[in-house]
Amino acid sequence: MSGKVLLTGGAGYIGSHTYVELVEAGFGVTILDNFSNARRDVIDRLEVLTGAPVRLVEADVLDADALDRVFAAHGFDAVVHFAGFKAVGESVERPLDYFHNNCSGFVTLLRAMDRADVRRVVFSSTATVYGQPETLPYPEDHPTRPESPYAANKLICENLLKEARAADDRWSYGILRYFNPAGAHPSALIGEDPNGIPNNLMPYIAKVATGELPRLQVFGDDYDTPDGTGMRDYIHVQDLARGHVQSLKLLIDQDQSHIVNLSTGQGYSVLDMLRAYERACGKTLPYEVVGRRAGDLAAFWGDPARARELLGFQATRDLDDMCATSWAWVSRRRNG
Ligand SMILES: NC(=O)c1ccc[n+]([C@@H]2O[C@H](COP(=O)([O-])OP(=O)(O)OC[C@H]3O[C@@H](n4cnc5c(N)ncnc54)[C@H](O)[C@@H]3O)[C@@H](O)[C@H]2O)c1
């Protein structure tokens, strides 16, 4: 497969893994990132992993002039858009910053694409657009009721894409609703590297395993789930990354817009994840149960059927793979 792709946010967690999958699939990829939530040495490590120099543009998706220059220089066939802020809790505290970066940034990008005659885009959406589950697993036609500014941002961006296509059918889009990405590349060269206290469960447990945090706080053990703790649909970041290649292929080869869940269809509890991480790192990890966190859902997982039918996508890695690759990554990072 070939084609030239602009990868915004390509220095980030999911973006860096997707970079590797795209290069391996034969795409020519240019990363655009402002490094607001990524380290510059990710680029060196991507060069080691792929054995080739990385084409990198350090710029902000809110900078229309910079985008015009990038599009003029490259002649892209499509854009894969990851650049954005992603922390649900922070979005509640700083909604205006989130709407500006995530929604204004996306409008700025889409307008630059339109000027450059590039109208294929794969967009990082999220399962949080569904809100309180009416049915599980969530199918893609489940009602959308975002419960945070972050989820509202993503739904606005989805709607922007639908409106753009309704007005001009040269637009095509792949909206990918991710469940809970976890794990790292098996090379242990790239992975999730949050600053401070992580928002997500696996990087939190990883920091307990390395001794950077004293214990895991489990928010509630009185949910209506088999062990009482919250359940989520964790998907290995490499599987997720491969889903983007398959989505791009559908856009480029068949011009077929789509909205799909990228999920495994399987829910795991907080304690399942903790036990799996203990197996990976060979230690018992301390935890304490505290009260429920406002706004947390008890359990959700996604219906993977449409992704299978439309994209031929199926997750192949399980929770043990996620924990083992995460542990290899954090151990290597700690040892320099
Ligand atoms: N990680 C998750 O749990 C999850 C789940 C669902 C959806 N998503 C979405 O997937 C995308 C990637 O997530 P991630 O986990 O890799 O996050 P990340 O923070 O690791 O990556 C985002 C990247 O975008 C860059 N960036 C942010 N704002 C920018 C801007 N204005 N201009 C240029 N670059 C900018 C950051 O520097 C970073 O490298 C995000 O849009 C996120 O909302 C993530």
Task: Give the Å distance between the CA of 35 and the centre of ligand 1.
Answer: 10
Find the radius of gyration of the CA atoms of the chain. Answer: 19
Residue whose CA lies nearest to ligand 1 atom number 2: 181
CB atoms within 10 A of CB 64: 15
Q: What is the pLDDT of residue 142?
A: 98
Q: Is the CB of 229 under 6 A from ligand 1?
A: no
Nearest ligand 1 atom to the CA of 62 is: 31
Q: What is the pLDDT of residue 195?
A: 78
Query: Measured between alpha carbons, how far is 160 from 165 in angstroms, rounded to an integer?
Result: 9
Task: Give the Å distance between the CA of 57 and the centre of ligand 1.
Answer: 16
Cβ within 8 Å of residue 300, ≥6 positions away = 127, 130, 133, 136, 137, 138, 231, 232, 233, 267
Residue whose CA lies nearest to ligand 1 atom number 42: 86
Average pLDDT over residues 272-291: 97
Q: pLDDT tens-digit profile of 310-320? A: 999 999 999 99
Q: What tokens were used for 262? A: 């990228």
- Active-site residue among 13, 19, 138, 150? 150
**pLDDT at 278 > cutoff 80:** yes
Q: Is 114 exposed, middle or buried (0-12, 13-18, 19+ CB in 10 A)?
A: middle
Q: Which of 37, 91, 260 to mutate to test the pocket of ligand 1 (most atoms within 8 A of CB)?
A: 37
- Residue 150 designated active-site: yes
Average pLDDT over residues 272-284: 98
CA dihedral 308, 79, 251, 237 (to 10 degrees): -10
Q: What is the pLDDT of residue 293?
A: 87
Task: Give the Å distance between the CA of 10 and the centre of ligand 1.
Answer: 8
SS3 194: coil
Q: pLDDT tens-digit profile of 14-50? A: 999 999 999 999 999 999 999 999 999 999 999 999 9
Q: Is the CB of 12 under 6 A from ligand 1?
A: yes
pTM of the model as a whole: 0.97
Q: What is the pLDDT of residue 296?
A: 87
Give, in order, the Cα–Cα distances in Å from 30 to each of 166, 176, 185, 202, 218. Answer: 29, 20, 20, 29, 40
Average pLDDT over residues 180-185: 98
Q: What tokens were used for 245? A: 């290649």
Task: Give the Å distance between the CA of 222 and the centre of ligand 1.
Answer: 32
Q: Is the CB of 18 under 6 A from ligand 1?
A: no
Q: What is the DSSP pairing of strand 172-178 with strand 231-232?
A: unpaired
Q: Are the C-beta atoms of 321 and 234 separated by less than 8 Å? A: no
Q: What is the pLDDT of residue 197?
A: 85
Task: Give the Å distance between the CA of 101 and the centre of ligand 1.
Answer: 11
Q: Look over the chain and give the mean of its residue pLDDT values, rounded to a whole number.
A: 96
Q: What tokens were used for 22? A: 């795209």
Q: Is the CB of 83 under 6 A from ligand 1?
A: yes
DSSP character at residue 293 = P
Cβ within 8 Å of residue 308, ≥6 positions away = 314
Cβ within 8 Å of residue 181, ≥6 positions away = 13, 14, 234, 235, 236, 237, 240
Average pLDDT over residues 61-87: 97
| pLDDT band at residue 1 under the 50/70/90 scheme | low
